[in-house]
Structure 1
Amino acid sequence: MNSAFDDLFTANDAYAADFRLSGLAPVAARGLAVVTCMDSRIEPLQALGLEPGDAKILRNAGARVTDDTLRTLVLAVYLLEVDRVLVMPHTRCKMASVSGDDEVHEAIEGRFGVDTRSLEFHTDNDQVGALRHDLERIRHHPLLPRALPVAGAVYDVDTGRVEPQDA
């Protein structure tokens, strides 16, 4: 086994010894899916007053609604009892602080020598504009119910506040 992960497996031993989530149904008990960023400063369940099992949490860089996010939402709506979606990017997001994907590609290649141009990072320094676009992608996806409630909010990493966006 790779020793780089020993701390994690040791921590898991303690977690498993006091594990209390056994028996949770695989559905979203409160009918919610949250699309948010992978940023570790965000604790979506706690920020929204939720408990494990209440929601499906979809995380990616920038909280963007990608094709994979849409695929996952279709599954969540039809198989996991999701009946509403909140898209929640956050303040001080690296993916919203650059002028575009080219800037990220150049930074990675310049620093690490890796050409990432085959990837689309979905960066956008107009965070609210990107949020509006992403909400519309969900609202108009042909495989999602037309009446599916979809909302947007921005999580503030400095205060923990979630500010609804009229998007």
Structure 2
Amino acid sequence: MDESFEDLLQANRRFADTFALSGFDGLAHAGVAMVTCMDSRIEPLGMIGLKVGDAKIMRTPGGRVTEDALVGCILGVHLLKVERILIVPHTRCAMAAGTDAEIAEAVRNATGAEIGDLRLGASPDQDTNLLADVSLLRNHPLIGDRATVGGFKYDVDTGLLTRLI
């Protein structure tokens, strides 16, 4: 095997030396779930004052409610004590820099790779996407009356979270 992950495995061993979450039940103890972007500038738990074990976090490109995120929200509401769901896109998001076609072209120009007709969910209109995603969850028969859903935007330059919907 190559050594590509050795630095991460060494860091994990140091992490495991002081690991204190053994036996944790996996429930969302604050009753919170969040769908947010995969952007590494986002610290989901910290930005809302929670800690490990308080919330279920689903990360998708652009913070969109994808099919997998929807499944996570449904399971969270029914099995993991989720009562509130935050949908959180953010400022200066690459997925808001263009349409799927434009992002696919950027990938092609940067790497030569064709990503085909892969649905990326890119759009410069984050507010319309957020409204659609909040509406999807609020009106979903398995979520609607079981959880409160809100739409927010996170500012990666200030750390502030603003409720939009």
TM over 0.5: yes
Q: Secondary structure at the match of 1:14?
A: helix
**Structure 2 residue runs without a partner (length 5+):** none
Superimposed CA distance per residue, residues 93-142 of structure 1 (whole angstroms, 9 cap, x where no aligned partner):
000121x1000111112222222123100011111111111100111112
Structure 1, unaligned runs of 5 or more: none
* Aligned pairs (5 A) from 1:42-121: 42-98=42-98, 100-121=99-120
Shift of residue 147, structure 1, vs aligned partner: 4.6
Letter in 1 for 2:120: F
- 2:4: which partner in 1? 4
Aligned partners of 1:101, 1:10: CA distance in 2, in Å?
38
Give a deviation string over 1:35-80, Cα, whole Å, max 9, x none.
0000110001111000100000000110001111111111111111
Identical-pair percentage: 45
Q: How many residues align?
A: 165
Contact kept, 8 Å, 2:35 with 2:86, in 1: the verdict is yes
CA contact (8 A) 2:134 2:151 kept: yes
CA distance in 2, matches of 1:155, 1:93: 10
Runs of 4+ that moved beyond 4 A: none
Structure 2: which amino acid aligns with 1:6? Answer: E
SS in 1 for 2:140: coil
Q: Which amino acid aligns with 1:101?
A: D
2:131 match: secondary structure: helix
State how far apart, in whole Å, the 2-side matches of 1:11 and 1:48 are: 26
User: What is the alpha-carbon distance in structure 2 between the residues aligned to residue 56 and residue 102 of structure 1?
Assistant: 31
| Equivalent residue letter for 2:15 | Y
State the match for 1:140 in structure 2: 139
